[in-house]
Chain A
C-alpha cells in the first residue's frame, strides 16, 4: 500500500479502510466506504472532495461524534496518538475529545452554546484541557487575540458576532484545549480573503510553535494548497488520490481530481455557463461494486464497473485508485514507481 507516514515516523492519526453507514429510514448511507488516511505528528494534511463525499463524517469519526443510534462503524480501524479508538464508548471518548484532538466545525451555530458568552465557552475548554493554566481569564484574552478577535468579544453571545467572527471564536475554543491534532472543517468558508489569509497564517504559526498537526477539510483548493503539505482527495466515501500538495496540483492523476481542478476556475464558457463536472453524484445508499466515479468518468473501462481498484503507487508518496492510471503505469514500467 502506498501509504505514507510522518517525517518523525510517528502518526497522530491513522485511519485504515474505514467503512461506516448512517441509518436513515430503511437505508444505509455509506458515508465512508474505504477511507485510508494518515496524519503525522506536526503534519498538515488536507481533505478535498465534493459536497456530501464524507469529509465531515471523517471529522466526526475522529472526534467520536457520530450519532450513536443512527450510525454504525462496519469495519476498519481508527488509531489516535497510538491508541485504538475504533470502538470507544461515549464516556471513553471524553478522554480524546479536546485533547489530543480538537475540532473547528463547519457550522459554528450548531456547535456554540447560544446562551453562554464566548469568553466563558473558551474558559471552559481551557479549564478542562489545559490545567497548567493558572490565570484562565488572561489565557482567554490571549486566545482571542491569537485569532484576531477583540478582547471585548469575550462578553458577546454567539448571535452578536458576525459569521466570520464566530468561526474564529470557535477556533479559540479549540486551541484552548492545546490539541496535538486540530481538525478544521471548512474553517474559513465564510471569511473574506484578507481575514482568511490571517487565519491561515495563524494556523501555520501555531503549528510551528506548538508542533500541532492539522487535518484541514475544505472544498477550497486554494486554502488547502496554501496550508497543507499533503492532500487526500475524497469521492463518494473513499479516498481516491493522495500525495504531496505540489504533486496533486502539478500532476493530478485521478480523473475526478482533474475535473476538480478544471472546475475550480469559476469561468464561464461561450454560452455563459459555469463549468461543472458533468454527471450525477453517486447514491451513497446504493453504491455499485465498482469505482463510484465510473458513470461520470471520461476514461472509464469495463473493469471499472466490476470492482474498486487498489491504490497504484506513483512514487514520491503519490498514489491513486484508478484502473486507467494503473493500466498506464503498467504499460510504462515506470522508473517513477518506487
Chain B
C-alpha cells in the first residue's frame, strides 16, 4: 500500500498527440490526446503493451520528440515548442533513465567522466569529487565504487550499466526522474535496493517519478497512481492499488491476470513436481 500524496504538479502533459508517418507504412498513432500529470514527491507508473506508446510519451515529456498537438508543462510553464537552447536547462530538471542502456552513454567516456558533471550538482557537496563518485556508485550497488571509476560503459554488465544511468539521474538531484524500464536488468536483490533508494529520495528530496514498467508487482508496491496505455491512449488510470486490484478495462485485466507472480510460478512448479514425483514412483 502506497500512501497518496497531494502536491503541486511538476510535470503535466495536456492533450498530447503524436503519429509517425512514413511513406509506404500505415501511420502509427503512438499518443492520442494523452493527459497525464505527476506531482511533487509522487510516483506515477505507466504500464501497457509493447508498442503502446510509453517510450514515445516519455520522449515527448523530455522534449526529445515533438508532439503533433498538445502541451508539456514543467512547474506550470509550457516547455513544448521552446527553442533547443532553452530546452537544455529544462532537461537538467527532468532526468531520464532510458530503456536501452547501451545507447544511453557516450562509449568513449569513462564512468568518472560520465558521472562527474552530474556529481557537481550533488546535494551534499562534501569530500573530494572522487569520494562523491564512489558514494554515488555504491548507492546503486556498484561496489566497491573505485573498481568502476576507470571503466567504459561496455565494460559493465547490462544491469550494471542500467544502474550507472540511474546513478547519473539521481546525482543531478532533479525534481523529476523519467525512468523507462529502469529495473528491467536488475536482479531481485538489486531491485529491492534501488527501489528503497528511490523511495528515500522521494521522501527526503521530494523527487517525482514517471515510471515506465511492465512489472505489475512493482507498479503496485512503488507507485501512487498508475496509468494504463493501450494503442496510444490511456485507457485506465487511478490509484495504483485500486486499479490493479480491480481492473476495469479489458487490457488491464489481461495485464494483471497475465502477470505471473513468483507465488504463481512456485505453485505451477509444485504441480509439475508432484506429477514428476508420482511418475518417478510409478516407474
Contacts and interface: CB of A to CB of B under 8 A. Distances in A.
Interface centre among B99, B181, B199 (most CB of A within 10 A): B99
Interface string B126-162: 0000000000000001011001001100110111100
B25 A109 contact: no
A31 B205 CA distance: 37
Nearest to B161: A107
Interface in A257-289: 259-261, 263-268, 272-277, 280-281, 283, 285
A219 B261 contact: no
Interface stretch (B49-57, B67-75, B85-93): B49-57
Given A193-B214, A193-B255, A265-B263, A250 B269 contact: yes
Contact of A276 (B48, B193, B280): B193
Contacts of B276: 244, 246
Interface string A189-219: 1111111110000000000000000000001
A44 to B, nearest CB: 14
Contact of B261 (A27, A222, A316): A222
Interface stretch (B11-19, B31-39, B168-176, B216-224): B216-224
A189 B273 CA distance: 27
Contacts of A108: 100
A267 B1 CA distance: 10
A61 interface: no
Contacts of A155: 22, 24-25
Contacts of B84: none
Given A245-B269, A275-B192, A52 B181 contact: no
Nearest to B152: A24
B272 A246 contact: yes
Nearest to A25: B150
Of the four ranges (under 10, 10 to 19, 20 to 34, 35 or more), the interface on chain B belongs to 35 or more
B242 interface: no
Consensus secondary structure, chain A interface = mixed
Nearest to B269: A249
Nearest to A268: B221
Contacts of A95: none
Contacts of B116: none
Interface string B193-236: 10110010000000000000011111001000000000000000
B228 to A, nearest CB: 10
A106 B50 contact: no
Contacts of B282: none
A152 interface: yes
A165 B100 contact: no
Given A266-B188, A267-B221, A276-B196, A107 B101 contact: yes
A324 interface: no
Nearest to B159: A51
B262 A193 contact: no
Contact of A189 (B154, B181, B216): B181
A76 interface: no
Interface stretch (A6-14, A96-104, A128-136, A156-164): A156-164
B260 A226 contact: yes
B270 to A, nearest CB: 6
Given A50-B187, A267-B221, A110 B103 contact: yes
A256 to B, nearest CB: 10
A126 to B, nearest CB: 22
Given A51-B157, A192-B48, A266 B218 contact: yes
A49 interface: yes
Contact of B270 (A189, A192, A250, A273): A250
Given A50-B187, A194-B254, A221-B262, A246 B214 contact: no
A162 B50 contact: yes
B258 interface: yes
Nearest to A152: B25
Contacts of A50: 187, 189-190
Given A164-B51, A221-B265, A222-B260, A192 B214 contact: yes
A293 interface: no
B64 to A, nearest CB: 11
Contacts of A313: none
Contacts of B262: 221-222, 261, 264-265
A86 interface: no
Contact of B214 (A109, A191, A261, A264): A191
B26 interface: yes
B82 interface: no
Contacts of B272: 245-246
A220 to B, nearest CB: 9
A186 B159 CA distance: 11
B191 A266 contact: yes
27 contacts: A24-B151, A49-B187, A52-B157, A56-B157, A107-B103, A107-B158, A152-B24, A163-B50, A166-B100, A186-B184, A192-B50, A192-B214, A192-B255, A193-B260, A197-B258, A222-B260, A222-B264, A222-B265, A247-B273, A249-B265, A249-B270, A265-B217, A266-B192, A266-B215, A275-B192, A276-B189, A280-B143
Given A281-B141, A316-B280, 6 more contacts: A24-B151, A162-B51, A186-B158, A192-B50, A263-B189, A283-B143
Interface of B: 20, 22, 24-26, 47-51, 55, 99-103, 141, 143-144, 147, 150-151, 154-155, 157-160, 163, 180-181, 184-193, 195-196, 199, 214-218, 221, 254-255, 258-266, 268-270, 272-273, 276, 280
